[in-house]
């Protein structure tokens, strides 16, 4: 992102007064010292509305200076959760969406150094998320002023904000790809996008096309792909290798169904609309890889993207078919709209052959996870039960909240098949998110530590935390924080 951050460690003397302690202020246009003489106007506005100091509702005012600087501000408690802080930051930044400014001033006043840096990080992340360019195919093009500069006041930096910029870039990539219509992001076009990124970032790229996958006997993946009129499905394998590599490889795996009709079990219209985003899991994996690359992450990372369409047609796979995955597992097809676990099963089996230290996979996989959690949390599953507290804590700290679900063996009773090793899913309803994860787990070989994220919060009406768009790109911020801050022992 081509946005300059100017850091001003201290506030002008005139703003360092008790009556503006514990405040966050976002100002349009370049911040000048005389602007801080108007702190009384902010205080009066707050008193007028009889707000408590802990109230996180943003207020607005236009300063009576020559530039009529537009200001959004709030008073908060230092103990505010990361999620609430990010949400507030999104609202503070959104208050400037109509001001057509290319600069924002961010003021943090009245907090200890660590808290001030945390608050500043949230504001910067919200500003960067709002500034990201998303797809727009309207004939009447609007040319809003692009954010070019952030001026930060009142924060004594310890580490800087390189991580925030890297995560913002990865999240923007995830959201942009996810929003593209399926006729603009076919597997063919997706591969072209990935090739450009690979060249720019010096990632090694391999593509296992359908011919390659037939040789690898990846029958579960190919069952889904066979319904497409164009044979462009396949698995992308990207490799990032840092100069001073430390530790074993980490694998990121993503579901990349570029459009999901439901296949032979055709989706109803209301459930089919929006299915161009069924590839968001792959975009999260790719965005996470980009962010880690920007941060010169010191461990090798591979990114495996399972790209396909789930089409309806005379060659499409159908219920009661029996197919064989690359590890020899026979699968009885029950419902063709459970295609994500089919393409991921072969991808996970092939990836885990490499014996990485950790596999994290991402998928917009099941409706039952949305029924269980709504769209503010995502679900996670792991074969390392002891990790549950750390996974929850990573979500609380990053502001991308998750909740773990059980993976007990007795759930397998619901996917027993009379004629194959396993059923693809159950005809019973209620716990499909758990059954899908039990299904996927059997394809993770060699006791590889594994985390599966069911992205129930991939799309949230009105945005989520600091992200202003319905398409959230959830998972990039979580994953980068999880890996960089070493919540897990891998």
What residues are annotated to the active site? 267, 341
**With the C-alpha atoms ordered 406, 409, 414, 417, is the resulting torsion angle positive or negative?**
positive
**Residues paired with residue 236 on neighbouring β-strands, in sequence order:** 207, 305
DSSP summary character for residue 467: B
DSSP 8-29: E-S--GGG-SGGGTTEEEEEES
Judged by phi (left if over 0) then psi (alpha if -120 to 50, else beta), residue 263 lies in left
CA distance 480 to 461: 24
CA distance 26 to 90: 11
Is residue 472 within 8 Å of 464, Cβ to Cβ? yes
Neighbours of 53 (CB within 10 A): 13
DSSP 347-363: HHHHHHTT--SEEEEEE
CA–CA distances in Å: residue 265 to residues 198, 313, 318, 348 = 36, 11, 8, 25
């Amino acid at each position: 992102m081509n946005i300059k951050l100017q850091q001003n460690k201290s506030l002008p003397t005139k703003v360092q007064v008790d009556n503006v302690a514990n405040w966050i202020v976002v100002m349009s246009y370049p911040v000048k010292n005389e602007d801080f003489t108007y702190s009384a106007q902010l205080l009066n506005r707050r008193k007028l509305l009889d707000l408590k100091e802990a109230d996180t509702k943003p207020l607005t005012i236009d300063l009576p200076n020559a530039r009529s600087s537009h200001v959004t501000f709030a008073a908060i408690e230092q103990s505010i959760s990361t999620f609430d802080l990010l949400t507030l930051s999104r609202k503070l930044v959104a208050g400037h969406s109509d001001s057509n400014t290319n600069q924002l001033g961010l003021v943090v006043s009245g907090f200890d150094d660590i808290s001030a840096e945390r608050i500043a990080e949230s504001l910067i992340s919200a500003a960067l998320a709002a500034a990201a360019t998303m797809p727009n195919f309207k004939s009447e093009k609007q040319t809003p002023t692009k954010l070019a500069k952030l001026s930060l006041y009142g924060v004594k930096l310890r580490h800087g904000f390189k991580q925030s910029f890297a995560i913002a870039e990865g999240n923007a990539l995830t959201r942009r790809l996810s929003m593209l219509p399926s006729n603009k992001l076919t597997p063919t076009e997706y591969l072209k996008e990935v090739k450009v990124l690979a060249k720019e970032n010096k990632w090694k790229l391999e593509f296992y096309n359908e011919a390659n996958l037939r040789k690898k006997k990846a029958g579960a993946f190919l069952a889904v792909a066979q319904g497409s009129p164009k044979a462009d499905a396949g698995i992308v394998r990207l490799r990032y290798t840092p100069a001073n590599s430390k530790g074993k490889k980490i694998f990121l795996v993503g579901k990349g169904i570029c459009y999901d009709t439901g296949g032979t079990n055709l989706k109803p219209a209301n459930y089919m609309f929006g299915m161009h985003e069924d590839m968001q899991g792959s975009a999260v994996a790719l965005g996470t890889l980009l962010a880690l690359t920007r941060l010169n992450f010191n461990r090798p990372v591979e990114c495996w993207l399972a790209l396909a369409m789930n089409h309806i047609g005379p060659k499409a796979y159908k219920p009661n078919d029996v197919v064989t995955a690359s590890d020899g597992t026979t699968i009885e097809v029950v419902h063709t709209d459970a295609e994500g676990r089919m393409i991921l099963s072969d991808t996970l089996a092939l990836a885990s052959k490499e014996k990485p230290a950790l596999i994290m996979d991402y998928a917009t996989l099941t409706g039952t996870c949305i029924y269980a959690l709504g769209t503010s949390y995502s679900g996670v599953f792991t074969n390392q039960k002891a990790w549950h507290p750390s996974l929850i804590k990573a979500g609380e700290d990053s502001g991308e909240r998750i909740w773990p679900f059980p993976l007990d063996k007795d759930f397998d009773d619901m996917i027993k098949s009379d004629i194959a090793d396993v059923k693809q899913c159950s005809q019973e309803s209620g716990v499909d998110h758990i059954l899908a994860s039990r299904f996927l787990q059997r394809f993770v070989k060699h006791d590889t530590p594994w985390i599966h994220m069911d992205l129930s919060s991939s799309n949230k009406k009105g945005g989520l935390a600091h992200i202003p768009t319905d398409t959230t790109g959830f998972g990039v911020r979580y994953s980068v924080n999880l890996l960089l801050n070493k919540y897990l022992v891998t």
